[in-house]
Structure 1
């Protein structure tokens, strides 16, 4: 039996963003990007360090896996726990996965103290997130429906009532539809499809996977 925790929704970046704040003349520039591996995340951090080579610090954090199985962060010379960790906490609390973030600091000449640094790195990353495009990933099931022409109207009506889109369709001597259903709705949808067509629909489960919701 599959574990329910595997089916929890999570968020990813559709497009990375860039945000900036100024705190006591120090500039904090947050840059975010979607990543699929530790290698991609490390390469992104190096890219930002080269881009902002003249900055005092390029602090980073990344989260990988649907359940945040891999997390890393770096203070890059800032006092321990004042940059990378609060950045990582922002990503985790936002439930965003497969993301890497770098906050670049150009020192303005005034020390901020540990509390000031935590706030600045947190606010900069939040500004970067606000400038990013974020989508929700849901666990779902791809189903194939086979019915006759008498049942298709009822099926289309039911699917429209549930806001379920048809991925593809094939009309021959029978009607074959492919659609994606959120995992937690599968049993109820299948029951309604069978009842609405008086059992004149065959339902086959093709695969389970995460899909973009909304």
Structure 2
């Protein structure tokens, strides 16, 4: 699994103008290809009168799915530069649709490549991105006497506590970077006089 990737902070639209042509870049997070395709369909419907609705998306933390469309623009002048911009910025789980309203001035192949790629780059800068990092999920089981202080110590040292369950003992669900696991085991043993039980689980991605 990829250690970290970037994605968009949220859905939004940013407009640029090049030689009287309007370029509206709509960005959105997309967890699956279906979500990306649904977003593209929504934008196409909103801008059915536009000359072109070109798109690109990257799905998977390792960018396993990459697709793009020029939507009638000359081959390789729209979707590909959009996709390249997303990849250059390490963007994942994201879909971009650039809607073009033609302004009467032809831009040529080079101009189109710069305009479509640039529209995505400017939209990312304006709308904002966030970094997501791979974390190891784990459970820590401890007696009631130590649970309150341990939870407080976990939070004050910046570790993510996802859930706390009370039973015969107290179980805390946490997430921490894989590289921190050995050091965390040692810290936990010191903090609880060796009484806590640490059980590593699966992996997930969370905001940095």
Shared fold, TM over 0.5: yes
Structure 2, unmatched stretches of 5+, are none
1:85 aligns with 2:97: no
Q: Compute the TM-score of the two structures, normalised by the length of structure 1.
A: 0.85
Deviation at residue 124 of structure 1 after TM alignment: 1.1
1:211 counterpart = 2:205 = yes
Q: Is the 8 A contact 2:135 2:206 kept in 1?
A: no
Q: Tell me: CA distance 1:163–1:106, structure 2 relative to 1, closer, same or farther (3 Å).
A: same
Equivalence map 1:59-138=2 (5 Å): 59-138=54-133
How much has 1:176 moved relative to structure 2?
Answer: 2.8
> What is the count of residue pairs matched by the alignment?
208
Q: Secondary structure at the match of 2:183?
A: helix
Q: 1:42, CA displacement in angstroms?
A: 2.5
* CA root-mean-square deviation: 2.2
Distance (whole Å) between structure 2 residues aligned to residue 49 and residue 153 of structure 1: 53
Distance across 2 between alignment mates of 1:162 and 1:41:
37
What SS class does the counterpart of residue 15 from structure 1 fall into?
A: coil
Match of residue 3 from structure 1? none
Q: Match of 1:183?
A: 178
The CA deviation string for residues 139-183 of structure 1, in whole angstroms up to 9 with x for no partner, is 222222122355446634652453013223345664332221122
